Structure 1
Amino acid sequence: MTDPVSLITSRNPTDPSDVVLRTPAPGAFAVADAVERARAAQSDWLHDGAAARSAALGAVATAIEAAGAELAALAVREVGKPLTEARAEVARTVAIWRYYAQAPYEPAGAVHEPAAGPGLLLTRRRPYGVAGLITPWNFPFAIPSWKAAPALAAGNAVVLKPAPEATACAVRLAEIVQQALPAGVFTVLPGAATEGNALVSAADVVSFTGSTTVGRTVARAATARGVPVQAEMGGLNAALVLPDADIAQAAAHIAASIAGYAGQKCTATSRVIAVGAALDPLREALCEALRAVPVGDPADPATVAGPLIDQRARDQVTDAWHGLDAPAGATVPDGPGWYAPPTLVEKVPAGHRLLNAEVFGPIAALLPADDLAHAVRITNSVPYGLVTSVHTTDLNAALGGLDGLDTGMIRINAPSTGVDFHLPFGGNKASSHGPREQGRAALEFYTSSRTITLSPVGTT
């Protein structure tokens, strides 16, 4: 039996007439077959041992590094990532695989004394089997890698379903990774909702990054099967600026977090909360910084903000600022690309979408706050809780803000964007479901803990 054939089409957001890749979607039955092949390959992959897995992951890192220029150019073409950011993502991807190449040698458990009598009590972490990964288009190499590398290091096999918009990047990544791994251990299947649903229905452990609506559906489906699941979803991130902050530095950081990659990051800044006397100087500095953002062809190394991923994404951004007071907006190029200017808006009415939902574009609302406590309440008032940046030279204020903020990540005097792959990544409330990913937290997520009792023969 076969599924009806549908096509996955990926277009260049700078020139939508440029079709990067068109391929048939494999369908649900193909996903189930891929999971079974992965399950058959997983046992040998685990039993080959730590040295073999470490060497294979290290070889992946070396191969990605060798293909770095090609991969960066592909990210520019397929997802409109500015070249400088694309190069940085590829470098980060190499570092991720190298980091997890050492993980097979990490302790897989601990030894404990029994409560009474001779013997040993052990804990041991073991892989689940097949990790089903569903990834977005905005980090087409880094996010699949920071999910796949720890899953593989722990002894799982992987089946990856990338976002349709990043299919070419995922297929090329698979070609590189598969050269270093046994057959069946790492599989990429293009597709959309049908393939994603099938993967959630078949995998032994599921990791998802994408929209809140889809993430909640994935979490419910996996939980109903009793399968471990993590879902990284939206963000409505705030930057808090106190009157004592270095306003020029804060404005530079915030402008980069609003406009970088056209705001298409879950960690982008979408609310700027100015405390007290910081409002007027911050508005002036931030408007100046946003107007100076280079918007244009992502293949130009000087570009900071390229196009939105598609027409729907651009319409969503332009609809969001319609009718609002916009003191600053950068100039966008003429041409066929889906561009939107990095924009700051003010006097946003309560209940407006910008204050309740992730727009995923280069737009942010400037909001006044009476004091730090008020700023923290504004920050916490939204459904999301991914990352908050706090800009101040007052250590006491920074620590006070840390205690009150309901977000998974807090960055002091730094942009909201940019995370360290060796530390846990994730948020609170609607931003995340399940355990954190990245770092050692990822190794724990992709393994289950066994408690083992070893008693000498003849004891009771």
Structure 2
Amino acid sequence: MPSPSTFTSVNPADPADVVLTFTAPGAFAAVDTVERARAAQAGWLLGGAAARSSALGAVAAAVEAAAAELAALAVREVGKPLAEARAEVARTAAIWRYYAQAPYDPVGAVHESAAGAGLLLSRRRPHGVAGLITPWNFPLAIPSWKAAPALAVGNAVVLKPAPEATACARRLAEIVQQVLPAGVFTVLPGGATEGNALVSASDVVSFTGSTGVGQAVVRTATAHGIPVQAEMGGLNAAIVLPDADIDRAAAHIAAAIAGYAGQKCTATSRVIAVGAALDPLREALGEALRAVPVGDPADPATVCGPLIGARARDQVGDAVHGLSVLAGGTVPDGPGWYAAPTLVEKVPPGHRLLSEEVFGPVAALLPAEGLDHAVRITNSVPHGLVTSLHTADLDAALGGLDHLDTGMVRINAPSTGVDFHLPFGGTKASSHGPREQGRAALDFYATTRTYTLAPAKTA
């Protein structure tokens, strides 16, 4: 028998501050957790739409009641700046409230029988147990936008959070478990061992995290015939045309590069300046990044806090080493894993900044001859999550919508920002399977059954 693994979650702004130490339960315990959830799921479904709706609404109210505590925990455990942490808690409550109405949605349709007498019915039914594997960067919102729709359609949920966000997941679970029946929502702490067991034992799987791990999750789930979706990051571009409001575009892009130290799958990592936009954008964006408040995430004014760990900080430094730096490129003194918001240019073809997601506050400034050239640059990478396009030209905006190979396009807005009531996802290596969020999530967490109701007697 392999020995248990011990994990430690620390404050990235002060690594001496240990938030939580825990022992992973192992693969057998993970399977047992799923079986207990499966036993609880039948009662949860049979309780009816009113019970599920009331419970999800009660979770929303409980999250709001604990808002200050949850925001402070997110600041401490994952280094999320306080303003963003507060916004995430508010969004978390809104997600639960949004899906609280879903149990009353139609679950199918009635059709005339081709043979005449009788009826044909289609009906959405839950899979059973939803295994959810979530990252550390949105420790409350991502588990919620997976769990709430899964629960709304009648599944039970087992959540395996990233080890770095286990304290947040456990506190969220305590809130959810106050109002849900026992076993319907369970947190499974641990690492790869527990995650692998969860994927194999669940009835439906949703994953958010790195591309490599996500692809492994997809392979495992597919081999077992388990429905799976995976969100696996981005290498997102911001395109700026010469007619754009350069200062406004620079402010949007700086926020999308540096907000939460660039630790978002929707962060901007490539800035493509078209034609005459290059020189003014270089100056405006460099100035905007140098003005970003960097520091203690507990300070309400902070925009760029620490990275999640020493390895993440070192990856940022390695990625910009030897490049032409326009802003940043330094590591601030003091405790914590910080990196200054950084903009580089003259990046050679094939460089990792142009092909890999670094997941830090760094972006490359790239020139383009025209919009078509900018679109080709944007589409040239393995990922395709989101693109922001900054222009006053409606025709150019519409052209971007038609030709950009990304799952989301944001016109005159930062690449960051998610509308939880709309489908979320990308193309190519960014996503696998159906979309998350909005009403689309309800379809993923359910299977459609077709029923034929023929008369017992013919006339």
Q: TM-score range by the shorter chain?
A: over 0.9
Question: TM-score, normalised to structure 2's length?
Answer: 0.99
Secondary structure of 1:122 counterpart: strand
More moved, 313-322 vs 106-115: 106-115
CA distance in 1, matches of 2:112, 2:329: 65
Contact 2:257 2:341 (8 Å CA) reproduced: yes
2:367 corresponding residue in structure 1: 368
Contact 1:290 1:330 (8 Å CA) reproduced: no
1:379–1:184 Cα change, 3 Å: same
Give 1:231-380 correspondences, 5 Å limit: 231-329=230-328, 333-380=332-379
C-alpha displacement at 1:119, in angstroms? 1.3
Give 1:36-435 correspondences, 5 Å limit: 36-329=35-328, 333-435=332-434
C-alpha displacement at 1:459, in angstroms? 3.9
C-alpha displacement at 1:8, in angstroms? 1.4
1:15 corresponding residue in structure 2: 14
Secondary structure of 2:439 counterpart: helix
1:67–1:194 Cα change, 3 Å: same
More moved, 163-172 vs 321-330: 321-330
C-alpha displacement at 1:116, in angstroms? 2.9
Question: TM-score, normalised to structure 1's length?
Answer: 0.99
1:34 corresponding residue in structure 2: 33
Q: Percent identity?
A: 82
Secondary structure of 1:22 counterpart: strand
Contact 2:320 2:329 (8 Å CA) reproduced: no
Structure 1: 4+ residue segments shifted above 6 A:
none
Contact 1:3 1:28 (8 Å CA) reproduced: no
1:441 corresponding residue in structure 2: 440
Q: Which runs of 5+ in 1 are unaligned?
A: none
Secondary structure of 1:357 counterpart: coil
CA distance in 1, matches of 2:357, 2:57: 37
Cα RMSD after superposing both structures: 1.0
CA distance in 1, matches of 2:342, 2:333: 17
C-alpha displacement at 1:458, in angstroms? 2.0
CA distance in 2, matches of 1:291, 1:276: 24
Contact 1:134 1:209 (8 Å CA) reproduced: yes
Contact 1:295 1:331 (8 Å CA) reproduced: no
C-alpha displacement at 1:240, in angstroms? 0.4
CA distance in 2, matches of 1:185, 1:56: 11
1:457 corresponding residue in structure 2: 456
Counterpart code for 2:187 = V
C-alpha displacement at 1:331, in angstroms? 6.9
C-alpha displacement at 1:332, in angstroms? 5.7
Contact 1:294 1:305 (8 Å CA) reproduced: yes
CA distance in 2, matches of 1:455, 1:413: 56
CA distance in 2, matches of 1:332, 1:72: 26
C-alpha displacement at 1:451, in angstroms? 0.9
Q: Which runs of 5+ in 2 are unaligned?
A: none
Contact 2:265 2:359 (8 Å CA) reproduced: yes
Tell me the number of residue pairs that the alignment of Structure 1 and Structure 2 aligns.
Answer: 459
Q: Deviations over 1:290-339 (max 9, x none)?
A: 00000000000000000000000001010000000011128764211000
